[in-house]
Structure formats: structure tokens, C-alpha cells
Structure 1
Amino acid sequence: MNTTDHPITADDARAALESLAMVNKIAVNSMRPPLWLILLCAVSLGIKTAAMGLMISNDLWISIQWGSYIVCCICIASWIITLHVKGIDIKIVDVNITKTGIISAILICTLLVSSRVTYLQTGSLLFPVIAGIFNTLILAYGLHFGLRWNVKEREKN
């Protein structure tokens, strides 16, 4: 742009920014996992939360927890492999941490621990199941809209 004699007008700059925003939106949508994979991962976390809360000293609850761990790991690994096949390399340690991500992680961990503590104190089966449902909803919402949150926070900066 420095070598041309034509100055850039405000309309040209707006059009260029709009086209960049459109390309960014397409890129974000292509990196987002499909809805079935999001739901599978979120439901496995919800089952893990309920199983952790209801964990009685028998092998059934322990195997349910390990099964949910395995399903969640398979979901994440399959999506990373799918992105790699598409030509998008993801570094797990280079993730952009946002305020919304931190809040949702704290909520998920709090529900995991409090479901177990509440079950031990009250003996009620209701709270671990409700905590599992909330964790499912939090993770599904975060995985579905998480990349868009990151893009919106970058646009503000």
C-alpha cells in the first residue's frame, strides 16, 4: 500500500474489514466440533459428575467414571485428529484462556466436588443428578460457543 499513489478511502477500509470478519467467521465455524460430538463429550461429563457424586464403594460406579473418562478422551482425540486432517494444527498447551472459560471451569469443578460432598452429607440422590445435568449444559454451551467467545474478546482488544 505504500507504493501506490491511491489513498484508501473509508469505504474501502470498511469493506476490507468486513471481508476479514467474514473470513474469520468461516474459520471459526470450520474449527467448531459437530453438535453430536459436543453432546457426546458433554453427556459423558454429566454422567461422570453423577457417578462421582453417587460413588458408593463398588466397582460399578468406578467403571462408569472410567468409561466416561474414556469417552471424553476419545471425543477430544477424534476432533483433534479431524482438525489435523483438515490442515489445522492445534497446540493443546497454547490455548487462549478467557474469563468465560475460567468461570465455566470453576463451575464444572465446583459441581463435581459439591455433588459428592452433598451426597455424603444428605444421602440424597437428587443433587448429584442435577449437578450432572448442569455440567452437561455448561460444557455443551461452552464447546458450542467457546470459539466465538474467544473471537469476540480478541475483537474488543
Structure 2
Amino acid sequence: MNKDTQAVSATEAKSTLESLAMIEKNTTISLRAPLWLNLIISCAYGMGVFSWATTRHDNQWILGAIISALVFTIGVGFYLYRSRLLGVKPKIVARSQSEMLFGFILAIFFGAIVVFSRELSKDGIWWASYAGGIIAAIALGYVSHRFPSGDYKAGVNKND
């Protein structure tokens, strides 16, 4: 039998880990939407949450929710098309358990924002719809920028 044992020095291991971290950082940067597009998508989502929380009976805020949904959908579609043109394929479906857990936590968080802002607004707390829209927009913008791959483990690196 041929045993091929090679000892890896500490400097080689360190340089390999640094290059892997650089590859992960570059991948994260390439998956990010441009700031202007992230701002449009996040503001459309926040406006949708605000509009939905403000609707009462037959008022016109539902039109704001519909327009926000259209702008949000067009923005996400443009991001996916732009990524395809650049040769980057962003994940749409979770592929690992950590991505699934992160997506589930985000779904609970954003769902709670929508429900609580709507219910508190219906109960007469007028500023709840504003707070819900602002929190949703800021949270979506942060998550989209910081964790574009959908995995919270990939966003742990503090050097970007």
C-alpha cells in the first residue's frame, strides 16, 4: 500500500482559510442587489405593510397595498433578471437546514409585523401602521443586504 502523508504547515492552512473567506465574501457581494434596488424593494414592502395596516372598510389604502405589491414584484423580478444576466443564480429555495431555519424565523418575524401592525391599528393605535411599515422596510433592507444568500452563517463575517 502506498501511504501518502503530507503535513500541512500552519501558514498553508491559514492562507487556505483566508482564501476561502475571500471567496465567500466575494460570493456574498456578487449576490447583493444594488443599494438603489434594495431600497426600492424594501420601501415597497414597508409601504405594503403600512397600507394593509391602515385599510379600514372601503378606504383607498388598499390601492397603496396593490401598487406596493406590484412595485415589490417588479423589483424582485428585476433583481433576478439582473442576476441572471451577470451569471449569478440567487437561491430561491432553501437548500440547507440553517437556510430553512433562517427563512422560517424571518417569515415568523415579518408575519408578526403585518399582523400586529394591522390589529393594533384597528384597535385605535394610529401610529402602529407607521411603525410596522418602517420596521418592515428597515428589516427587509438589512436582511437583503447583509444575508443575500439566505444563510445567516454566511453573514457572520464582520470584515465586509
Q: Which is richer in helix?
A: 1
- Aligned pairs (5 A) from 1:1-157: 7-58=7-58, 60-94=60-94, 96=96, 97=99, 99-122=101-124, 124-147=125-148, 149-152=152-155
Q: Distance in 2 between matches of 1:120 and 1:133?
A: 18
- Calculate the TM-score normalised by the size of structure 1: 0.82
Q: Distance in 2 between matches of 1:44 and 1:85?
A: 24
- Contact between 2:146 and 2:155, CA under 8 Å: does it hold in 1? no
- Calculate the TM-score normalised by the size of structure 2: 0.81
3-state secondary structure, aligned to 1:149: coil
3-state secondary structure, aligned to 1:144: helix
- Contact between 1:33 and 1:144, CA under 8 Å: does it hold in 2? yes
3-state secondary structure, aligned to 2:107: helix
Q: Distance in 1 between matches of 2:48 and 2:61?
A: 9
Q: Deviations over 1:47-105 (max 9, x none)?
A: 11111111023362121111111111111111111111111223422455254443333
Q: Deviations over 1:101-152 (max 9, x none)?
A: 4333322111111112112222x32111111111111111111111373415
Change (3 A) 1:32 1:91: closer
Q: Distance in 1 between matches of 2:95 and 2:54?
A: 33
Deviation (angstroms), 1:30: 1.1
Aligned pairs, number: 151
Change (3 A) 1:137 1:152: closer
Gaps of 5+ in 2: none
- Contact between 1:45 and 1:68, CA under 8 Å: does it hold in 2? yes
Q: Give the percent of matched residue pairs that are identical in Structure 1 and Structure 2.
A: 26
- Contact between 1:50 and 1:131, CA under 8 Å: does it hold in 2? yes
Q: Distance in 2 between matches of 1:20 and 1:35?
A: 26
Gaps of 5+ in 1: none
